[in-house]
Amino acid sequence: MDLPPEPRRKLDGAGQAAPPQQAAREEAPADLLSAIASALEHGQQKKLLSLCRQALDQGYSPDDILSKGMVKGMSDLGDAFSANRAFVPEMLIAARCMTAAMELLKPHMAASGHEPVGSACLGTVQGDMHDIGKNLVKIMMEGSGIQVIDLGVDVSPQQFIDAAQQHHCGIIACSSLLTTTMQGMRQVVELARARGIRDQVKIMVGGAPISQAFCDEIGADAYTPDAGTAARTAVALLRALKHSL
């Protein structure tokens, strides 16, 4: 017999602490990073920011705070959403918390002092409003010395190609979180070919449903699984492009 879905903790209007009797039932987090994951998952913005400050003070790297703390919390929330234990408003609140915490971490991540290496236009593909991963890619690319033209979300293939031509970008970087929107990346590759700029621009793809196999299938240049790898790959591609032009 199917068990009913486990109820999730309710958020108050500001995405803050849960009712005390429910909160008390929750297990105490094992360490700071799992406390961060849990605060993000439950939309507790004040608590999240305070834990992030604590983690920075204790010498945790911004990378670990992000990937082992916040991204883990988001991923747990995604699992809860899949199991009908969390809903769109909770995802929105968590997204707002993550954006606020990223602002806090940004100065610690983007302090680079790298030489400018070139420019990239970056956006989330048409029909897709998810921008947290894209914003992380932006922070990491800028921290690596790349000038990023941020096209935002719901970006059409035409907008990607127009921006690349207008700003002389060596890279077009597309993010997608939905299986229903990822085909937009194929259209970006096809339009770059049709406009005759395919050999002047490298097309990078990423986001949860994207894989190396999909990248190969649509003829894009690089798939990377996370923002840090995306930034490192972008630097290498821009340097190679400079040599070949």
Positions touching ligand B1M (CB under 6 A) are: 71, 74-75, 77-78, 81-82, 88, 91-92, 94-95, 127-134, 136-137, 173-175, 177-180, 204-209, 224, 226-227, 230
In Å, what is the CA distance from 31 to each residue of 23, 65, 101, 124?
17, 12, 18, 34
Alpha-carbon span 15 to 160, nearest angstrom? 35
- Which residue, 32 or 222, has its beta carbon nearer to ligand B1M? 222
Give me the least distance between CB of 20 and ligand B1M, in Å please.
Answer: 26
- CB of 94 vs ligand B1M, minimal distance in Å: 6
Least distance CB 96 / ligand B1M (angstroms): 8
Least distance (Å) from ligand B1M to the CB of residue 55?
A: 17
Dist CA 216 CA 30 (whole Å): 41
Taking the least distance from each CB to ligand B1M, the nearer of 81 and 214 is 81
Residue 2, H or E segment: none
Q: What angle do CA 123, 125, 128 make, to 5 degrees?
A: 110
Between 21 and 82, whose beta carbon lies closer to ligand B1M? 82
φ, ψ at 2 (rounded to 5°): -70, 135
Q: Which is nearer to ligand B1M, 118 or 133 (CB)?
A: 133
The torsion angle over the Cα atoms of residues 216, 186, 197 and 171, rounded to 10 degrees, is: -70
